[in-house]
């Protein structure tokens, strides 16, 4: 915070003395040529800074860079007193080129020490502290002639050098206080190579270049108008100082009150795009009334938004980028492309000066409006790009942190296909020991009789049931309803499953009807999704989608896992994303205690296990989270989801924060915020008043009463009174009474 305050005090005070010294010595007509010259030096320093920070890491190189800047400004102070014109050039080059590199490197250091969640929370405060420094720097420049004596404005350069020395000393201590410690040096990678391979960085470079070009044109018009209105005396320094102070105050208010809310509510694209959008509107307004107050107001709006909304959103873009890429190109983009935009704006201004008879302010304002409109479109793409950047950063960091974990967390396609090939042969649970075969086997003619087989299937005796199921291959379609009723019986479930899969006519409709019927035994419904997965047709997908809204969590869980596997096998069967997001919204609309308490009564079959779980992680995985990621895999890319799932179970806080930021970016309708609340809120932190507690108890009572009523209706049904139906006193092993709900009876 203190370093940011001093750095921005130097920035604002330095800009004031820079402009005053240069305009007093050369006038506004020399500005375009000076801007282009400073741009060339900035590009060279930006490339040098990228190599420096890759070689020594920002934590080591940035403090010493500030100290070097302070020593250089002490030398410039003596140069200004000895040769004002040469000193004015030196100060201008220093503030435009060297100070820009230092500003970029400061934010580079912060972006490596914070994850995106911390950055959203702290960047606004740090920028606010910097804006406080901007106010102090502006006041210092405004009152410096009175403090140092008339004619001693140049001594302000020495004071600015002292400020940079203090910044360097403070930053030397910062890595010891930061939680993650100083970053390790990264191997040097060519910025051109990184930019060629990273479209998102090229997009940021275009954003910076276009934004700086418009700022340079507006700045030229503003300084030209100020010189014409105020002359070249001491009043010019005082005006620049107070103007910069006022801009800093506006930036401080925006940073403190609005920047964080804008990022969270509107996203990066809209927040950053507010700068070029307002510049375009202000340029058109100034085109209609090209007066000094209007042009000064346009310059104030541009500077205030650049120091608040633009800075907060732009620096946030760098936090998920891997350090090797960031160190290679951030300084090049922040300084090189920034100065390229300066050069472009200076060239436009110089061309306008060389065109006699043309209304220069009107041409420049129209050009500014056009460039700002193009940059507004560029900025609106940042929301999509930010999600991609977080995705790449998540995969990169997860690979570094989790590469030493137990188990492979990225299954290749061949392994996945081998799992599908065995889908029909996999059994969700180990079958009970099969009873001994009877000594006498009925004749095939008897086994083929449908009435006889139906009676045997309803006999309630495992031996007789298994004998019929083994003989009925393929299964007679007439027997399908009776065999479905046997899915709840552990002793005969494997044989019943194989018989159902052997039917030569479509049965997905019958299975789907049972799955969607809340009166059907839960022990049956929870085993139907595995059968629908093995069938694997469009009707099976429709049935599984209906299972996503079941009142029991285990049915929804197994339906989602079956859908995930089925879509992996046949992508053309992918369900509509809106249906999946509705299911996700329902899952996130639960109390945290319910979210944490969900369990499965049946063990998971290999095909029902989420593929990016190793043996260690499988023991500690959150079932609700596992279910959520099964749903997400139906609508989002799988590789970043794998990394995000494992990251949420990792001990690395930065990695968890990166995973949450990725999910927050890809989930619509504020679902990411609700997921973050469920995962980050401490257990038991929910507070409920007496009315809410009573309401929950009444809902629970009504749910249990409804389950009991359904069981009573089922027992009184004609099918239940048939002679061969198993007695309620001896229910099939594994059947679960509907009156004993799991941890979540209702869909919520």
Q: How confident is the model over 188-199, as pLDDT tens digits? A: 567 777 777 778
Q: Which of residues 606 and 85 earns the better pLDDT score?
A: 85
Q: How far is the CA of 86 from the CAs of 302, 384, 475, in angstroms?
A: 30, 47, 98
Shared domain check, 128 and 10: yes
Percentage above 70 pLDDT, the chain = 73
Distance CA 329, CA 523 (A): 58
For position 725, what pLDDT does the model report? Answer: 38
CB atoms within 10 A of CB 681: 12
Local confidence band at 301 (pLDDT 50, 70, 90 cut-offs): very high
The per-residue pLDDT for 364 is 92
CA-closest candidate to residue 642, choices 385, 322, 394: 394
**427 shares its domain with 521:** yes
Whether 518 contacts 487, CB under 8 Å: no
**Residue of 73, 69, 86 whose CA lies nearest to 157:** 73
Q: Which of 647, 677, 708 is the last residue of a domain?
A: 647
Least confidently predicted of 247-251, 365-369, 460-464: 247-251
Q: How many Cα neighbours within 13 Å face the side chain of 364?
A: 30
* Rounded Cα gap, residues 396 and 644, in angstroms: 11
- Residue 369 belongs to some domain of the structure: yes
Whether 379 and 458 map to the same domain: the answer is no
Percent helix, strand and coil across the chain, each rounded to 5? 75, 0, 25
Query: How confident is residue 731, by pLDDT bands cut at 50, 70 and 90?
Result: very low
Which of 164-178, 325-339, 418-432, 643-657 is predicted least confidently? 418-432
Tell me the average pLDDT of the chain: 75
The CATH number for 634's domain is 1.25.10
What does the pLDDT average to over 368-372? Answer: 94
H-helix segments, 486-622? 493-501, 508-516, 522-525, 528-535, 538-547, 553-569, 577-588, 592-597, 615-620
In the prediction, which pLDDT does 690 show?
Answer: 42
419 with 391, same domain: the answer is no
Query: Do 386 and 473 have their domain in common?
Result: no
Q: What is the domain extent for residue 307?
A: 2-177+191-397
Alpha helices in 57-115 (DSSP H): 58-82, 84-93, 99-113
Q: Same structural domain for residues 226 and 257?
A: yes
- The pair phi, psi for residue 236, each rounded to 5°, is -65, -45
Residues 137 and 54 grouped into a single domain: yes
Tokens representing 637?
């890319």
Reference 284, options 209, 340, 214; nearest CA is 214
Instruction: Please report whether residue 684 resides in a domain.
Output: no
Does 661 reside within a domain?
no
Q: Within 13 A of 529's CA, how many CA atoms are on the CB side?
A: 29
Evaluate if residue 680 carries a pLDDT over 70. no
Q: Mind listing the pLDDT tens digit for each residue in 203-227?
A: 888 999 999 999 989 988 988 888 8
Q: Is the pLDDT of residue 166 over 90?
A: no
CA atoms of 302 and 283, how far apart (whole Å): 10
Q: What pLDDT shows up at residue 266?
A: 84
Identify the CA nearest to 45 among candidates 338, 365, 242.
338
Residue 602 falls within a domain, yes or no?
A: yes
CA distances from 269 to 310, 388, 459 (A): 10, 13, 67
DSSP string for 84-98: HHHHHHHHHHIIIII
- Residue carrying structure tokens 């285990």: 554
User: Do 388 and 513 reside in the same domain of the chain?
Assistant: no
Phi, psi of 11 (to 5 degrees): -60, -50
The CB density around residue 712, as the number of other CB atoms within 10 Å, is 11
The pLDDT, as a whole number, for residue 2 is 77
Digit-coded pLDDT (tens) for 374-428: 999 999 888 888 888 787 777 777 766 654 443 333 333 332 233 333 333 333 4
Q: Does residue 720 surpass a pLDDT of 80?
A: no
| CA 176, 180, 185, 190 torsion-angle sign | negative
pLDDT in tens, 612-638: 444 434 444 578 888 888 898 898 888
Q: Taking a C-beta distance cutoff of 8 angstroms, is the pair 38, 92 a contact?
A: yes
CA distance 342 to 355: 20
Sequence length of the chain is 748
CB-side exposure of 118: number of CA atoms within 13 Å?
18
- Orientation of helix 99-113 relative to helix 2-25, angle to 10°: 160
Decide if 444 is inside a domain.
yes
Neighbours of 233 (CB within 10 A): 10
pLDDT greater at residue 748 or residue 187: 187
For residue 705, is it within any domain?
Answer: no
Highest-scoring range by mean pLDDT, 129-138, 432-441, 540-549: 540-549
Are 572 and 638 within one domain?
yes
Lowest mean pLDDT of 354-358, 649-653, 743-747, name the range.
Answer: 743-747
- Note whether 669 and 580 are within 8 A (CB): no
- Tell me the C-alpha distance between 701 and 36, whole Å: 77
Domain membership of residue 656 (yes or no) is: no
Domain boundary among 345, 365, 397: 397
Q: Is the backbone of residue 321 left (phi > 0), alpha (psi -120 to 50) or beta? A: beta
Same-domain status, 419 and 368: no
Question: What CATH number is attached to the domain comprising 358?
Answer: 1.20.1250.20
The DSSP H or E segment spanning 603 is none
Q: How far apart are CA 524 and CA 555, in angstroms?
A: 10
Same domain, 375 and 429: no
Answer for the pair 193, 203: CB distance below 8 angstroms, yes or no: no
pLDDT of residue 146: 65
Say which residues have a Cβ less than 8 Å from residue 705's Cβ, sequence separation at least 6.
none
User: Do 249 and 351 sit in the same domain of this protein?
Assistant: yes
Residue 296 lies in a domain: yes
Query: Number of folded domains in the chain?
Result: 2
Residue 300 to residue 531: CA distance in whole angstroms? 67
> Phi and psi of 435, rounded to 5°?
-65, 160
Q: Kindly state the tokens that stand for 368.
A: 């500014």
């Amino acid at each position: 915070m203190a370093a940011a305050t001093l750095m921005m005090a130097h920035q604002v005070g330095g800009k004031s003395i820079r402009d005053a010294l240069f305009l007093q010595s050369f006038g506004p007509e020399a500005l375009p040529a000076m801007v282009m010259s400073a741009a060339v030096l900035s590009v060279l320093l930006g490339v040098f800074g990228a190599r420096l920070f890759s070689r020594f890491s920002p934590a080591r190189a940035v403090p010493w860079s500030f100290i070097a800047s302070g020593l250089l400004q002490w030398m410039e102070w003596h140069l200004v007193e000895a040769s004002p014109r040469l000193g004015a050039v030196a100060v201008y080059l220093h503030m435009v080129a060297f100070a820009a590199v230092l500003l970029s490197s400061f934010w580079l250091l912060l972006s490596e020490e914070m994850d995106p969640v911390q950055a959203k929370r702290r960047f606004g405060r740090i920028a606010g502290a910097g804006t406080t420094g901007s106010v102090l720097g502006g006041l210092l420049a405004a009152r410096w002639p009175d403090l140092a004596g008339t004619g001693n404005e140049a001594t302000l350069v020495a004071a600015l050098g002292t400020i940079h020395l203090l910044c360097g000393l403070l930053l030397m201590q910062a890595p010891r206080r930061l939680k993650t410690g100083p970053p390790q040096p990264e191997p040097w990678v060519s910025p051109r190579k990184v930019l060629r391979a990273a479209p998102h960085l090229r997009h940021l470079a275009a954003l910076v270049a276009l934004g700086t070009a418009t700022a340079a044109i507006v700045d030229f018009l503003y300084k030209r108008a100020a010189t014409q209105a105020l002359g070249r005396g001491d009043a010019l320094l005082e005006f620049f100082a107070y103007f910069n102070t006022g801009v800093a105050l506006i930036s401080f208010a925006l940073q403190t009150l609005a920047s964080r809310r804008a990022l969270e509510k509107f996203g990066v694209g809209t927040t950053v795009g507010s700068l070029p959008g307002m510049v375009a509107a202000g340029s058109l307004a100034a085109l209609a009334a090209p007066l000094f107050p209007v042009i000064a107001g346009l310059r104030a709006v541009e500077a205030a938004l650049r120091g608040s909304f633009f800075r907060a959103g732009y620096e946030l873009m760098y936090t998920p980028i891997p350090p090797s890429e960031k160190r290679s190109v951030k300084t090049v983009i922040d300084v090189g492309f920034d100065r390229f935009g300066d050069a472009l704006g200076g060239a436009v201004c110089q061309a306008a000066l060389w065109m006699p008879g043309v209304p220069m302010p009107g041409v420049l304002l129209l050009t500014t409006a056009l460039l700002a409109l193009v940059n507004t479109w560029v900025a609106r793409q940042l929301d999509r790009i930010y999600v991609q950047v977080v995705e790449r950063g998540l995969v990169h960091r997860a690979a570094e942190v989790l590469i030493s974990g137990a188990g492979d967390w990225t299954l290749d396609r061949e392994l996945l296909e081998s799992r599908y090939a065995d889908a029909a042969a996999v059994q969700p649970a180990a079958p009970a020991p099969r009873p001994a075969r009877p000594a006498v086997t009925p004749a095939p003619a008897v086994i083929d009789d449908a009435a006889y087989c139906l009676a045997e299937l309803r006999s309630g005796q495992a031996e007789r049931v298994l004998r019929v199921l083994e003989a009925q291959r393929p299964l007679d379609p007439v027997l399908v309803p009776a065999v479905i009723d046997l899915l709840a019986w552990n002793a005969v479930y494997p044989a019943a499953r194989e018989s159902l899969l052997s039917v030569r006519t479509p049965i997905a409709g019958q299975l789907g009807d049972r799955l969607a019927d809340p009166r059907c035994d839960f022990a049956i419904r929870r085993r139907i999704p595995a059968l629908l997965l093995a069938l694997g047709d469009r009707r099976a997908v429709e049935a599984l989608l209906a299972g996503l809204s079941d009142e029991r969590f285990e049915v929804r869980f197994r339906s989602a896992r079956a859908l995930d596997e089925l879509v992996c096998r046949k992508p053309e069967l992918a369900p509509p994303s809106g249906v999946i997001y509705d299911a996700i919204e329902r899952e996130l609309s639960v109390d945290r205690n319910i979210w944490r308490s969900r369990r499965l009564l049946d063990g998971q079959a290999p095909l029902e296990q989420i593929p990016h779980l190793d043996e260690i992680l499988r023991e500690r995985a959150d079932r609700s989270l596992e279910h959520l990621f099964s749903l997400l895999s139906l609508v989002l890319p799988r590789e970043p989801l794998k990394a995000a799932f494992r990251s949420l179970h990792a001990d690395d806080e930065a990695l968890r924060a990166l995973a949450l930021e990725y999910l927050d970016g890809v989930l619509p309708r504020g679902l990411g915020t609700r997921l973050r609340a469920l995962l980050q809120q401490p257990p038991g932190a929910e507070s409920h008043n007496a009315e809410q507690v009573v309401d929950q108890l009444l809902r629970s009572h009504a749910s249990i009463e409804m389950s009991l009523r359904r069981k009573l209706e089922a027992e009184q049904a004609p099918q239940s009174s048939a002679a061969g139906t198993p007695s309620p006193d001896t229910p099939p092993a594994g059947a679960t009474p509907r009156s004993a709900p799991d941890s979540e009876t209702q869909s919520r």
